[in-house]
Amino acid sequence: MAKIGIVVGSLRKESFSKKIASSVAKLLPDGCTAEMIEIGNLPLYTEEYDENPPAEYTAFRSKVQGFDAILFVTPEYNRSIPGVLKNAIDVGSRPYGQSVWAGKPAAIISQSIGSIGGFGANHHLRQVLTFLDMPILQQPEAYLANSPSLLDENGQINNQDTIKFLQSFVDAFVALIEKCQA
């Protein structure tokens, strides 16, 4: 089936995005595997690194290349994506013409502690991924509002309607991956 990389846009140890990503990974069908991709160790991107990249860049790019698809799970910061996520995207997209993201199917789950569910982050990320030539899951869109209330004391999603919705999201993402692999 597919090997899916998960990029979490939050570095916080008890990140809601990380907990949601772990719950969603359990919804993948047999034959699909998922692995978190570390982004917190990447030095800030600068074009000077294009000719002589830091070891962290090389390792990150190599890791991303090994996945068939990418799931982004992110909080919203100031109606957009966190800087650490944008940095990781920039690192993977450079040097120009050598993007490790190109052609990889992508899906986005945004979440927020408020009631908008990370709408701004989701749409800003879609804009960036479209430019990077990543086929993006269009429907269903995943905006998770009031995210702390969706998680139990073990960090697992506790709302059956949310689990049912996320299963439909995962099923649609897997169908997109299969379509792109055909």
pLDDT tens digit sequence for 35-69: 999 999 999 999 999 999 999 999 999 999 999 99
Q: Among residues of the chain, what percentage have pLDDT more than 90?
A: 99
| pLDDT band at 12; cut points 50, 70, 90 | very high
Check residue 1 and give its pLDDT. 79
Measured CA to CA, the distance from residue 16 to residue 22 in angstroms comes to 10
Give the start-to-end residue ranges of the domains of the chain: 3-181
Check residue 44 and give its pLDDT. 98
Reported pTM: 0.97
| pLDDT band at 4; cut points 50, 70, 90 | very high
pLDDT tens digit sequence for 126-145: 999 999 999 999 999 999 99
Measured CA to CA, the distance from residue 45 to residue 50 in angstroms comes to 9
CATH number, span 3-181: 3.40.50.360
